[in-house]
A and B are shown apart, each in its own frame.
Chain A
Amino acid sequence: MGEVTPVVKVRHLKKYFMANKRFLKPSDYVKAVDDVTFDIYPGETVGLVGESGCGKSTLARSIIRIYEPSAGKVVYNGTDITHLSNAKLWQYRNKMQMIFQDPYASLDPRYTVGEIIGEPMEIYKMYDKAGREAKVQELLEQVGLKPDHISRYPHEFSGGQRQRIGIARTLALDPDFILCDEPISALDVSIQAQIINLLEKLQDERGLSYLFIAHDLTMVRHISHKIGVMYLGHLVEFGDADEVYSNPLHPYTKALLSAAPIADPNTARSVNRIKLEGEVPSPIHTPEGCPFCTRCPECRPECRITPPVMANQNGHKAACYKYV
Chain B
Amino acid sequence: MLAKADYFKPIDPALQNAEFIAVPSGGFWRDVWDRFKVNKRAFVGLVVLTVIVLTAMIGPFVSPYAYDGMGTEINAGMSLKHIFGTDALGRDLFTRSLYGVRISLMVGFLTTFINMFLGVIYGGIAGYVGGRTDMLMMRIVDVIYAVPSLLYIILLMLIFGANVGSIMLGMCVSGWIGTSRMMRTQVIALKEREFALAAYTEGASAPRILFRHIFTNALGPLLVEATMAIPQAIFQEAFLSFIGMGISAPQASLGTLAQDARMYMTVYPNQMFCPVSVICIIIFALNFISEGLSEALDPTKRH
Interface residues of A (CB under 8 A from B): 61, 64, 66, 90, 93-94, 96-98, 100-102, 105-112, 114-115, 119-120, 123-124, 146, 148-153, 155, 166, 169, 173
Contacts and interface: CB of A to CB of B under 8 A. Distances in A.
A123 B198 CA distance: 13
Interface in B268-288: none
Interface in B194-229: 194-195, 197-205, 208, 213, 216-217
Contacts of A111: 28
A97 B194 contact: no
Nearest to A173: B202
A252 to B, nearest CB: 29
B24 interface: yes
B194 A105 contact: yes
A106 B195 contact: yes
Contact of A120 (B193, B203, B298): B203
A90 B28 CA distance: 27
A66 B24 CA distance: 34
B213 to A, nearest CB: 5
Given A110-B299, A111-B28, A102 B203 contact: no
A210 to B, nearest CB: 15
Given A101-B194, A102-B194, A148-B19, A109 B202 contact: no
Among A106, A110, A115, A152, chain B packs the most CB atoms within 10 A around the CB of: A110
Interface in B289-303: 297-300
Contacts of A115: 25, 28
A284 B241 CA distance: 60
**The 3 residue pairs across chains A and B that have the minimum distance between CB atoms:** A151-B25, A106-B194, A120-B202
Contacts of B297: 110
A97 B204 CA distance: 13
A66 B197 contact: yes
B80 interface: no
B159 interface: no
Contact of A153 (B195, B208, B300): B300
A293 B203 CA distance: 41
B194 A100 contact: yes
B22 interface: yes
Contacts of A123: 202-205, 208
Given A66-B197, A106-B195, A155-B300, A148 B202 contact: no
A105 B193 contact: yes
15 contacts: A61-B197, A66-B201, A93-B203, A97-B202, A102-B194, A105-B195, A106-B195, A109-B299, A115-B25, A115-B28, A146-B19, A152-B22, A153-B300, A169-B198, A169-B202
B21 interface: yes
A200 B208 CA distance: 33
B23 to A, nearest CB: 7
A38 B202 CA distance: 24
B201 A106 contact: no
B22 A151 contact: yes
B82 to A, nearest CB: 50
A158 to B, nearest CB: 15
A114 B26 CA distance: 11
B300 A119 contact: no
B204 A151 contact: no
Given A148-B19, A148-B22, A151-B22, A108 B213 contact: yes
Contacts of B19: 146, 148
A257 to B, nearest CB: 30
Interface in B109-141: none
Given A109-B299, A151-B24, A155-B300, A98 B201 contact: yes
Nearest to B195: A108
B300 to A, nearest CB: 5
Nearest to A133: B24
B198 A98 contact: yes
A223 to B, nearest CB: 21
A107 to B, nearest CB: 6
Contact of B217 (A90, A94, A109, A169): A109
Nearest to A119: B202
A100 B203 CA distance: 16
A123 B204 CA distance: 6
B125 to A, nearest CB: 16
Among B193, B198, B200, B299, chain A packs the most CB atoms within 10 A around the CB of: B198
Contacts of B299: 109-110, 153, 155
B201 A64 contact: yes
Contacts of B194: 100-102, 105-106
A114 B25 contact: yes
Given A108-B213, A108-B217, A124 B203 contact: yes
Contacts of B204: 119, 123
B300 A107 contact: no
B25 to A, nearest CB: 4
Contacts of A146: 19
B187 to A, nearest CB: 15
Given A108-B217, A109-B299, A110-B217, A119 B201 contact: no
Contact of A106 (B198, B208, B216): B198
Contacts of B25: 112, 114-115, 150-151
A234 B219 CA distance: 42
A54 B202 CA distance: 26
